[in-house]
Structures are given as C-alpha cells and as structure tokens.
Amino acid sequence: MDGLIAHILQELAFEGDLGSDVSRLRQIISQYHATQFIAASHPQIVDDKFCAFVWTVLAIQDHVVVGVVPEGAATVYFPPQPSKIKADGKGKTKKDTVSISLTPLPSNEVSNQSLDSLMAKYGDALRVAVEPDICFVCLTGSHIRPSKLSANAYAVLQLITRARTEGISVTDISRQSGYDPKTCFISLKYSLTWDISTKSKWGEPRSTFEAEIECAAEEDNEEDDEVDGANQEFTANIQFEPIDNRHMSTIAVVKARIKRLLRHMPNGLHVYRHLLEAIGFKSTLKKERRVFTHRVPRATQGPLH
C-alpha cells in the first residue's frame, strides 16, 4: 500500500494544480498494479471497494487536498494571454479573468464521509490533488520560480505534463489553451530551455509533439513490414503501458523504461532481442526494430541503476 500511495502522490503532482477526478484516480491505481511484477501471480482487483479504501488512505496524507472545481472547469486553468489583456485595456469589453482554483472541502467532511457520499454530492466536480507548491517542484524540479516562467508558460507546462505518456502537439496546445501561436511558442521555448520538456517530430509532417522528460520523467528473411512474432515467447515480470514508434525518438522515454525493467529482472539482466517488446512496444516491425536498435546506445549511456 505504501508503494501505491507514493505512486499516486507522484502522479497527482504531475496532474497539476487542479488535480484529478475519481475516474482518473482509478486509472492511476490500475496502471500501478498492472506494472508490478507480482501482478501476474497475485493480481489486485481494482473495483469500487478497493478504490474507496485507497481514497480513505490518500485523503489523510500530508499535502493532499480534496476539493471541488467550478462546473465545466477544464483540467488546467489558462490565464488570459498578455495580448488579450492589453486589448481589453484599449476599450474592448473586459473578459472574466478570475482564476479557477481548487476549493478545498472541510477536513471533517472529507474524513467523515465516504467516497460514494462525496461523489453523490459533488459529482465530477470532486477532485483530489497535491498542494500547488508540491506540483511546482515536481514539474520544474526547483522550489525557485524563474523570473521568465509566466503564468501562461506554467499553464502550458501543466498541459504538457498531463499528456506525458503520448505527448501533445503544438496545435492541440493552442486549441486547448486558446493562446495564439506566439504565446504558445514562447511558453514552449522556456520549457525546452530549462530541460523540462523535449520536442520530437513524428507522424504527419509539421506535427511537433512535446513530451515530459520527467515522466518519460522507457533477423530473419521476412519482408520489412511483416510482424515478427518471436518476441511473444518472452514474458517479463513487469508490464508497461503500450507505446508505439512515435516514442522511439524520445530517448528519455526509452531509457526510463529500460531502467525500470532492469530493476525488476534477476541480476539486472534482460535478453536484448526481447527488449523492445518488454518495454511496451508490442507491434515490432523490422523497420521499427532497426530504429530502436539505433536508439539503445544513446539510451544506455551512463548508469542505468
């Protein structure tokens, strides 16, 4: 249970200031148990009762906040961009700039009422989060706020972090935040400069994706496009969420998964030819294996323990 709670706290910190709803919390719990090496022989049933029990333990942890957000609130609050504020000052109708934040529930209400009762009362507005200061340290790696880290840039960083598994395109950042391309560019430039996120290109041309480093901080004679089923013979004691060829250009993802895999293997060793599938890459085409082969030397530079 201690390991699960520690994992949830870390994930909640990466979810941002507004935290996660109950359905997202359940996903985090399920993902944790799916990646534990004991899961194959002693699987944990993640049902409503188990989630309710985890909730009671989580709610009493230090730095955890249980609260509600306004109806219809997005997962991340995006402050007005500077250009819009200046425009408002030139005679245009001023928009509502009130910050959206998590409103904490009274501690006695959280401790005395069950998760079902709170859900019945608040519905999807119910959230669980860690304190904003903890989120900031997890997202930036520092207690000190850089002078150039504007509220807009920090909001974009939270959005990137919430999409840490699959990454997010610049187009989607602009669409979800409502920021113009210039504001998005400046925000992304800062996060790249501070090595908080990394930029990769995959998929269609001109599609740029941002991936959070902290979560990242993972031959036969057949035709190239034929699926090689040889890797199916090996079953690792730890399971990862599936990834695809879009993640291969992100060295931090590959390295993080290799490190975690080796920690769960006897003597820290693993068969090289089964490595790709073991870290979650299920569809191993030959051409994709070749890309992975070129990435491994870079991913394994430096200590892996």
Q: What's the rounded Cα separation, in Å, for the pair 167 and 218? A: 14
- Secondary element (H or E) of residue 136: helix 132-140
- 220 pLDDT more than 80: no
* pLDDT-derived band at 268, boundaries 50, 70, 90: confident
Percent of the chain with pLDDT over 70: 64
Q: What is the DSSP string of 69-123?
A: --TT--SS--PPPHHHHHHHTTTSPPPP-PPP--EEPPHHHHHHS-HHHHHHHHG
- 129 pLDDT more than 80: yes
Which residues face 208 on adjacent strands? Answer: 201
Check: CB of residue 196 under 8 Å from CB of residue 189: no
Q: What's the rounded Cα separation, in Å, for the pair 108 and 52? A: 17
Check: CB of residue 218 under 8 Å from CB of residue 277: no
- Secondary element (H or E) of residue 154: helix 151-162
Q: Closest Cα to residue 209, out of 194, 193, 188? A: 188
- 86 pLDDT more than 60: no
Look at the domain 145-212 and name its fold.
Arc Repressor Mutant, subunit A (1.10.10)
* pLDDT-derived band at 225, boundaries 50, 70, 90: very low
- The mean per-residue pLDDT over the stretch 234-262 comes to 68
- 226 pLDDT more than 50: no
